[in-house]
A and B are shown apart, each in its own frame.
Chain A
Amino acid sequence: MIKLENIHKYFGELHVLHGVNLEVAEGEKVVIIGPSGSGKSTLIRCINLLEKPEEGSVVVDEVNLLTTPAAVAKVRQSMGMVFQQFNLYPHMTVLENLILAPIKLKGISKDEAIASGLLYLDRVGLQDKANAYPAQLSGGQQQRVAIARALNMKPKIMLFDEPTSALDPEMIQEVLDVMIALAGEGITMVVVTHEMGFARKVADRVIFMADGEIIEQNTPEEFFTNPKHNRTRQFLSRIAHAV
């Protein structure tokens, strides 16, 4: 479904990704963890080309995005992304946020987009907020709307870039609950997060990144109980202390 090969990314002089390879199978749930500055956010942003790697190949759904730029927009339509800062459109109501892209990009009728939008809002528990503006919602609610907005495009893949990192602690769980429920439905998911409980519960595979490289990857049980690398052990012990 997703195949990243030998990804190199530079920010000016800074070499952020050092030839990363990442393959994600259809329906697989991959959780990427690692210290800040490890390149995990940059990596997930390379999947939908919000960051353009200087070297390597990005293949999604059998389309090579770097060699066929004309196909990028189309592929992005099938890949929802949820951001740390929500990035809802502040000038639109919740429902308008949900229906804009389906109507304008996929040519779906307004009635149909509204019907499915309300369904997704119901699933994230926010149908009563359909006519509210993002600024009137809490952070947790905004992020749930952002998830519903992505889902209303009926994506095959969902990318989550630290979806709970900007939230107050008491709002993290409501967002994670939505993500856990979503994971149960067979959609392909790539999640960058610091939520180890979520990784343990949902991931098919946990990837640990540091210094722009994938250090270690394994099933959650193996990864958390029996980490192979020193860097991983250091990181996990530091997290354990924090929790």
Chain B
Amino acid sequence: MPGPFALFKWQAVLRDWQVFAEGFGMTILVSVLALVLALVLGILFGMMGTAQTKPLRYLNRIYVEFIQNTPLVIQIFFLYNGLPYLGVMLPVFWVGMLGIGVYHGAYVAEVVRAGILSTPKGQFEAAYAQGFSYWGAMRYVILPQAKRMAYPPLTNLAVNLIKNTSVMAMVAGGELMYHADSWASSNLYYGPAYIITGILYIALCLPLATYAKYLERRLEVSA
């Protein structure tokens, strides 16, 4: 009986490279869109977390705690299996994009909130004293500074986000993990399929993670 990594299995992977390429492309697309959604939600809810009005801060806590303390898989399953009962049928691509975006938005919100809180109080006061409103101060003075603090953790978050798109495989998401798994379960060439898939994830995540480390070092130098 041939081993799990027999040569002909690798050749099969090469022959069917388009399956993997399609999944890889989908993973990138979902990652980018989900990341945009996560950033928008995260900046919005992160600012709410530092707002003077209590209800806004409560909204921030509800979102962050609810999302961070339930598994991503449940959230995806809810969108995929739960929403249809409420009459909402989302294409699986949307399920993945929304689920992953909303999930990581909660983490982005915490990073943004921490970035805002780490900006010295005097910066708000200087902006207010010049006549800026809360939002003006945020936009021109606070957020640009919080951004510098937030870049390294945000880059790490992007790495996690890319890896977490793989949960879409559980709902036939059409991304890399799904394609690799369904390809492998049809011919049982699991070994090469998973290794190639892992390498493709590394190709996306390692440069980002390295970039995050570079940003962290640069921040330490300038601080």
A-side residues, CB < 8 A to B, are 48, 50, 73-74, 76-77, 79-81, 83, 85, 87-91, 100-101, 104-105, 150, 153, 159
Contacts and interface: CB of A to CB of B under 8 A. Distances in A.
B130 A87 contact: no
Nearest to B122: A87
Classify the secondary structure of B's interface with A: helix
Classify the secondary structure of A's interface with B: mixed
A101 B125 contact: no
B132 A91 contact: no
B141 A105 contact: no
Given A91-B148, A105-B130, A83 B122 contact: yes
B130 A76 contact: yes
Given A90-B145, A91-B144, A104-B140, A50 B128 contact: yes
A80 B128 CA distance: 11
B133 interface: yes
A101 B130 CA distance: 7
B123 interface: yes
Nearest to B141: A89
B136 A104 contact: yes
A89 B123 CA distance: 7
A52 B123 CA distance: 18
B145 A85 contact: no
Contacts of A105: 130-132, 136
Contacts of B132: 73, 101, 104-105
Interface string B110-131: 0000000000101101101111
A137 to B, nearest CB: 15
Contact of B123 (A87, A100, A101, A159): A87
In the complex, the 8 A-B pairs of residues with the closest C-beta atoms, listed nearest first: A77-B131, A87-B126, A81-B129, A87-B122, A76-B131, A101-B130, A73-B131, A91-B144
